[in-house]
Structure 1
Amino acid sequence: MASGVVGLACSMGSAPAFAAGDDPLSAIDWLSQSVSTPGAGKAGKPAGPVKTIEPPVTSEGALPVTVSSTSLDIPSPDSVGLISPAVSGLPRNLWGAGLSDEIARAVIRDRMESLPALRQLFLTMLLAEADPPIDAGNDGRLLLARIDKLLQIGALEQAAALIDIAGDGTPDLFRRAFDIAILTGREDKACERMQKAPGLAPTLPAHVFCLARGGEWDAAALTLTSADKLGDVDKAQTALLSRFLDPDLFEADAVPPPPSPVTPLDWKLYEAIGETMPTGRMPIAFAYAEIGPQSGWKAQIEAAERLTRAGTIAPNVLLGLYTERDAAASGGVWDRVDAFQAFDAAMQSKDKTRIAATLPPVWARMQEAELEVPFASLYGPPLAALDLPPDVARIAFRIGLLSPQYEAIASAHKALDETEIFLTGLALGDITGLRAPDMMGRAIAPAFLTPEISDEARMLLEGMRLGEAILLAIEDIQRGVDGNVSGVTRGLSLLRKVKLENVARRTALELMILERRG
């Protein structure tokens, strides 16, 4: 799946509140305490949250935050990326004159409800090669914020790739690499890395887990027993690790209740004792743990739907799962499987009668699951090439406009009504003289006729803070989806102003076609 990371990103969870000098700008409460960090107490007993990208505080406290000390011969980790400017369409000075902490705060804000085109733009920004902020040091605080956001939106393969480039030699980066490895089924590699790096001192639970994974069960048991006697691990963790090491010995005992929050290591330990916890209500990153063959088919499909909806895995993964075998029951996910299989078989047969009969039902199922854009990327172009009955052709046209080939499809289409004329104009970037068919269309139109950005966006652009201006546009458009339609005008205007025309058009089409309006 890693090979598709760049292509997926370029196809264009909530973060904790921040109080200066208090909580870190970027922290995930479900990260495993896999290695000891400065300020930690006894093994397995971390001393509070790990302060990953908090600005340093000196006794004088008089220097402005823009003053920093950076070794000129060591590149800042914040410049690490997977996508070059030539591919991303974003300039190398994306963050410009912005400050690391302010950019990090903007990055970690919640955008999970954004439209698909905007989610892909955001993902591309997280993965883009870019010059570090002007105050960046060598601590990689923006890199950590980007990685944490990737974890929060379920982009584990992409986060792992960033860490591979940056290196996992620090406790903060290794902790993230360790959890990614667990959730993607590569825990043995992570344990091997831990053993070969003396600077990565494992905490008790991680040490016991890795000893056992390496076949050293007696050493793991002895380590746990000694730590328990010394009070270096809490009773609940001891009970879980003891059952993990020897499940038969505790077969008659009640399974320890899961902690809150559950970490990836906790999840793996419960899975190992035969008490796998469903990931549906967990952070989306945990869905990765259930898309592999070790999980049941239904769990795999539901996990893949979450990740596909978030835009972090390729639609082909879901296609493969939907068509793997016959549905086992009816209702919910099985209705989607049935509808998808019937339509896919019709497309394979190239029988237009069958396609016309199966397209409306599968499209309704995709709308229910908010999987319209992934579906369009799979079937939009071939559907557009078919001569279908008018009622079905209307659906096919909208599906085509949600695909990456929207412009070519619009150029070749003969519009059937006023709405299709407007949609065609949006796809081609020219709505001069066209009438907007509804309120959303009227909010979109000014951005393509007389674009005008907000005062806040103008200040960011004039201050050479392009990246933050783009993030503001994403948020403005989302506010428009939620009901404040003026945000749509402002956000789309800014995207066009900074030459993100493709994103602006795709977003406008999604605003018109998808049922995401507040």
Structure 2
Amino acid sequence: MTGVKRSITLAGLAWAMFSFPALANDPLSAIEWLEKRPKQIVVPLSEFPQSNTIDEPAVAGSVVTPQVTVSPLGAPVRAAAGLLPSNVTGLPRTLWQGSDVETLTTLMSAIDVEQHPALQSLLYTLLLAEADPPQTDQNESFIRARVQKLLELGALDPATALLERADPAHVDLFKLYFDVSLLNGNAEAPCEALRRNPNLSRDFAPRIYCDALGQKWDSAALTLATADAIGALEPLDVALLEGFLDPELFDTVPPVPQRPTVLQFRLFEAIGEALPTSSLPREFTATDISGDAGWKPQLDAAERLARVGAISENRLLGIYTSRIPSASGGIWDRVESMQRLETALKSGDPTAILKQLKRAWGKVKEANLEVPIATLFSQDLLRLPSTGADADLISRIALLSPDYESVAQRETSDATLKVAQSIAIGEPEADSTVLISAAIEAGFSGSGAPARLSEMVADNRLGEAILRAMALTASGAAGDSAALQSGLAFLRSVGLEDTARRTALQVLLLERRDQG
């Protein structure tokens, strides 16, 4: 229980950090997404496996000159940028130092924990942690990998804030800076930086766009003509930029690429041919969250982003309840059911609440949104008088929330819920009728953490080891019991008790469907 209590303390620190008014120059105060991060993670520094203790003599017998690494002033600060300091995450500054940057970049790019909300939360914490970069990182490639992963998840606000902390008007970061600013709908800052220092980008398209944005039409047109003449631009970029510069002469819409660049996406929008984001990568979905494109695209975007933890559950609920549905079927039924549930909860009528809960929970499961909805309503539901199947439903929902420990003593005859209750207190008891329970019990037995991952921790490769353990756990949840056991055992061995418990509960209780 100690690990969980410590995690609650750290969650409180994180909440306090992002809830009180910040100084005017502090960008964190504007990030609504971070309100509940990190609430599932604790890595007590005192529990990290340490390298062999050195018993040094009182007087050294010789002097050894250490190897000195030289780097430009300011580079370490940029590369170590983060939004969450060590006293909030519990992660050491040496999190990444011993790892190879190419290995970390590959691991971050490949990791897929979309089906596992607890692991998602851990991934965000790793991406946003303040920590020294790998010693092999000489050109900000690691911070680029972190920002790119945040964009892949659709977490646009944290990606923006992380870049701002890293001084993005730099040749190694400018492309990401430009793209993120375009997605935010405000390219003025990177364009001004590019006008001051054209060497920030070798690509002509941003220069032309920025000149046009600054109403330097002649310069933009001349640069476009020159770039087209020497073949320095893709035909699609030429066509879109021509339409952007002179809409009256533009009469043919170019074909839509399978994966447009961010600039192409915005140029299609500028010429009146906005691209639907539903079939595009999640980073584009974030542009619909404001609702400028209409409520339906905003709802689709909110669900898609909430599914991977890129927006908070409170923001999802706010979008669900912002208007009255004017249609039925699909997402509209889900919206209506959530609105009815919230109304019933405000009424305080247990019968009405339970009636609406059953319908709403079924709709939520169709969209793989059980965890954010459970997080929103578990405390209210646990206060309801209930018995039998109604009580079991409430228990199942609360076990998927941060309040999972409070469910441990509730009465039930359901075998799966009994296993879940034992996981909630960190003492899983397998049941022969619950297939995955044996692997979970073995993962919590106190042994079984892969030796190679433990060795990484001793070599200042903790972050790499956690990423590998997350991938192992996710693959184990898909049916590899040995991998699940090993992944859970390692997470617990480095103090990630809350993450291990919530992951095990989610593997046991969630029924996942393919979602876009």
- Place the TM-score, normalised by the shorter chain, in its bin: 0.7 to 0.9
Range with bigger deviation, 266-275 or 206-215: 206-215
Alignment of 1:466-505 (within 5 A): 466-505=462-501
Over 3 Å counting, the alpha-carbon distance change for 1:381 and 1:416 in structure 2 is farther
Read off the aligned partner of 1:413 and give its amino acid letter.
Answer: R
Identify the residue that residue 119 of structure 1 maps to in structure 2. Answer: 120
Identify the residue that residue 278 of structure 1 maps to in structure 2. Answer: 276
Shift of 1:305: 1.1
Over 3 Å counting, the alpha-carbon distance change for 1:137 and 1:201 in structure 2 is closer
Between the aligned partners of 2:34 and 2:455, the Cα distance in structure 1 is: 31
- Residue among 505, 510, 514 paired with 2:510: 514
Identify the residue that residue 289 of structure 1 maps to in structure 2. Answer: 287
CA RMSD of aligned residues (A): 2.5
Identify the residue that residue 355 of structure 1 maps to in structure 2. Answer: 353
Shift of 1:202: 6.5
What are the superposed Cα offsets for residues 450-502 of structure 1, whole Å, 9 maximum, x if unpaired?
Answer: 43112432443344422222112111111112211221111111111111101
What are the superposed Cα offsets for residues 300-354 of structure 1, whole Å, 9 maximum, x if unpaired?
Answer: 1111111111111111221111111122322221121121111122112222121
Read off the aligned partner of 1:89 and give its amino acid letter.
Answer: G
Identify the residue that residue 83 of structure 2 maps to in structure 1. Answer: 82
Read off the aligned partner of 2:110 and give its amino acid letter.
Answer: R
Between the aligned partners of 2:68 and 2:299, the Cα distance in structure 1 is: 48
Read off the aligned partner of 2:140 and give its amino acid letter.
Answer: G
Between the aligned partners of 2:205 and 2:223, the Cα distance in structure 1 is: 10
Shift of 1:425: 1.8
Over 3 Å counting, the alpha-carbon distance change for 1:350 and 1:216 in structure 2 is farther
Between the aligned partners of 1:325 and 1:487, the Cα distance in structure 2 is: 45
> TM-score, length-normalised on structure 1?
0.82
What are the superposed Cα offsets for residues 134-161 of structure 1, whole Å, 9 maximum, x if unpaired?
Answer: x335422222221222222222221211
Q: Is the 2:415–2:434 contact (alpha carbons within 8 Å) kept by the matching residues of 1?
A: no
Q: Is the 2:374–2:401 contact (alpha carbons within 8 Å) kept by the matching residues of 1?
A: yes
Shift of 1:419: 3.0
Shift of 1:372: 0.8
Identify the residue that residue 161 of structure 1 maps to in structure 2. Answer: 161
Identify the residue that residue 110 of structure 2 maps to in structure 1. Answer: 109
Q: Is the 1:477–1:488 contact (alpha carbons within 8 Å) kept by the matching residues of 2?
A: yes
Shift of 1:395: 1.6
Identify the residue that residue 21 of structure 2 maps to in structure 1. Answer: none
Between the aligned partners of 1:236 and 1:512, the Cα distance in structure 2 is: 48
Between the aligned partners of 1:376 and 1:443, the Cα distance in structure 2 is: 25
Shift of 1:260: 4.3
| 2:145 is aligned with 1:145 | yes
What are the superposed Cα offsets for residues 141-197 of structure 1, whole Å, 9 maximum, x if unpaired?
Answer: 222221222222222221211111111132231111111111122223432333344
Identify the residue that residue 389 of structure 2 maps to in structure 1. Answer: 391
Shift of 1:389: 4.5
Identify the residue that residue 194 of structure 1 maps to in structure 2. Answer: 194
Q: Is the 2:31–2:158 contact (alpha carbons within 8 Å) kept by the matching residues of 1?
A: no
What are the superposed Cα offsets for residues 215-266 of structure 1, whole Å, 9 maximum, x if unpaired?
Answer: 444553454345445654444322222222232333xx33111234301111
Read off the aligned partner of 2:268 and give its amino acid letter.
Answer: Y
Q: Is the 2:368–2:513 contact (alpha carbons within 8 Å) kept by the matching residues of 1?
A: no
Identify the residue that residue 402 of structure 2 maps to in structure 1. Answer: 404
Over 3 Å counting, the alpha-carbon distance change for 1:472 and 1:218 in structure 2 is same
Between the aligned partners of 1:2 and 1:412, the Cα distance in structure 2 is: 40
Read off the aligned partner of 1:9 and give its amino acid letter.
Answer: R
Q: What secondary structure does 1:171 align onto?
A: coil
Between the aligned partners of 2:385 and 2:424, the Cα distance in structure 1 is: 21
Q: Is the 1:410–1:428 contact (alpha carbons within 8 Å) kept by the matching residues of 2?
A: no
Q: What secondary structure does 2:200 align onto?
A: coil
Q: Is the 1:183–1:289 contact (alpha carbons within 8 Å) kept by the matching residues of 2?
A: yes
> TM-score, length-normalised on structure 2?
0.82
Q: Is the 1:114–1:474 contact (alpha carbons within 8 Å) kept by the matching residues of 2?
A: no
Range with bigger deviation, 391-400 or 373-382: 391-400
Q: Is the 1:376–1:399 contact (alpha carbons within 8 Å) kept by the matching residues of 2?
A: yes
Identify the residue that residue 70 of structure 1 maps to in structure 2. Answer: 70
Between the aligned partners of 1:68 and 1:152, the Cα distance in structure 2 is: 37
Alignment of 1:59-458 (within 5 A): 69-71=69-71, 74=74, 76=76, 77-133=78-134, 135-201=135-201, 203-217=203-217, 219-229=219-229, 231-250=231-250, 253-407=251-405, 409-411=406-408, 413-431=410-428, 435=431, 437-458=433-454
Shift of 1:207: 2.4
Over 3 Å counting, the alpha-carbon distance change for 1:193 and 1:75 in structure 2 is closer
Read off the aligned partner of 1:356 and give its amino acid letter.
Answer: L
> Aligned residues: percent identity?
38
Over 3 Å counting, the alpha-carbon distance change for 1:10 and 1:233 in structure 2 is same
Between the aligned partners of 1:508 and 1:235, the Cα distance in structure 2 is: 51
Range with bigger deviation, 385-394 or 478-487: 385-394
Q: Is the 2:113–2:474 contact (alpha carbons within 8 Å) kept by the matching residues of 1?
A: no
Q: Is the 1:84–1:129 contact (alpha carbons within 8 Å) kept by the matching residues of 2?
A: yes
What are the superposed Cα offsets for residues 419-454 of structure 1, whole Å, 9 maximum, x if unpaired?
Answer: 33322221111236x646501111101122343112
Highest RCO, 1 vs 2 (Cα 8 Å, sep ≥ 6):
2
Identify the residue that residue 19 of structure 1 maps to in structure 2. Answer: none
Q: Is the 1:482–1:517 contact (alpha carbons within 8 Å) kept by the matching residues of 2?
A: no
Runs of at least 5 residues in structure 2 that lack an aligned partner in the other structure:
1-28, 41-66
Over 3 Å counting, the alpha-carbon distance change for 1:285 and 1:8 in structure 2 is farther
Shift of 1:112: 4.2
Runs of at least 5 residues in structure 1 that lack an aligned partner in the other structure:
13-66
Q: Is the 1:70–1:138 contact (alpha carbons within 8 Å) kept by the matching residues of 2?
A: no
Identify the residue that residue 19 of structure 2 maps to in structure 1. Answer: none
Over 3 Å counting, the alpha-carbon distance change for 1:79 and 1:188 in structure 2 is closer
Over 3 Å counting, the alpha-carbon distance change for 1:221 and 1:72 in structure 2 is closer
Q: Is the 1:376–1:400 contact (alpha carbons within 8 Å) kept by the matching residues of 2?
A: yes
Q: Is the 1:107–1:145 contact (alpha carbons within 8 Å) kept by the matching residues of 2?
A: yes
Over 3 Å counting, the alpha-carbon distance change for 1:224 and 1:103 in structure 2 is closer
Read off the aligned partner of 1:351 and give its amino acid letter.
Answer: D
Q: What secondary structure does 1:122 align onto?
A: helix
Over 3 Å counting, the alpha-carbon distance change for 1:70 and 1:99 in structure 2 is farther
